[in-house]
Amino acid sequence: MADPEKTTGVQESVLQWLQTPGNGKRLIDLEWSVKKAGNLYIIQNEKVPFTILLTFGDRTLNLIVDTGVETAILENQKRLTIYRSLLILNRQVELVKFMLDGMNENVFARVDMEIAGMTRDVLDEALNVLLSALYIMVKALNLEDQFNQMVVDRMVDTINTMTSEGKSRDDIVKYLVEHVGFPQKDAERVVDEILQKGSSDTEDLYR
C-alpha cells in the first residue's frame, strides 16, 4: 500500500522542480506555469508546443497530452486507420502510450512513472520521451500539415540540448531508438539533418 506522506512529499517536490528554473537547457530547467484544476495540474511553457496534464495516483505520476485530434467525427475507414496506427505506436514506443479519451475520442499520449523512484532527472526524461514521441505520432497519423513546425522545433531543441551536454551523434541516435521508439534509419536521418542544418532549415524532417 502506498505511503500517503511519501506521495505528498513527491508531489510537492515535482511541483517545485517544474516551477523553479534550472541553469541548464533541459526541459526540467524551464520555468513551467503550473495551475491546479480539480484533481490534476496543467503545466505549460511557451517553448513547448503542447499543454501537459499532470496527475498523481497512489503509486504513479502521470504526464498526459491531449493532441486535440478528434476521431469520433471521422469516417469509419479513416478512424480505423488511426486506431491501427496507434496500436502500432504502442508496440513501437515503450514508455509512451497512445489512447483515445473524451466525448470526441481525442488522441492522447501518456507516460506513467513510479512515484517511488521519482527524481528531477527521471521527470526530465519522462518529459523528453513524451514530447519526442509526439513527433513519431504526427508522422504516423499523417498530421504533418497541422503540427509540423511546432513539433519539429521541439525535436530540434531536444537534439541541440543533448549536443550541448556533450552527447555524440551516436549517443543521440541511440536515445531516440531505445527510449523514444524511433526506427534506426529515421533516428539517424533526423539527427543528421538537425546537426548539419541546425534550426535554420527543418522543412524536410518528415520525409
Q: What does the pLDDT look like over 71-122, one tens digit per residue? A: 998 899 989 999 999 999 898 888 899 999 999 999 999 999 999 889 999 9
pTM passes above 0.75:
no
pLDDT at position 76 is: 92
What local confidence, expressed as pLDDT, does residue 150 receive? 65
Question: How many of the other CB atoms lie within 10 Å of CB of 51?
Answer: 14
Q: What is the dihedral of CA 10, 22, 205, 137, to 10 degrees?
A: 10
In DSSP terms, which residues pair with 41 in a beta bridge?
Answer: 36, 54
CATH number listed for the domain at residues 4-197:
3.30.1460.10
Q: Residue 98 forms beta bridges with which residues? A: 109
**pLDDT at residue 186 in the model:** 82
| Residue whose C-alpha cell reads 534550472 in the numeric block | 22
H or E segment and range at residue 103: none
Distance from C-alpha of 83 to C-alpha of 81, rounded to nearest angstrom: 5
| 148-183 pLDDT per residue, tens | 566 677 778 778 888 888 989 999 988 888 777 777
Residue 206: per-residue pLDDT: 43
DSSP 30-71: S--EEEEETTEEEEE-TTSSS-EEEEE-SSEEEEEEEEEEE-
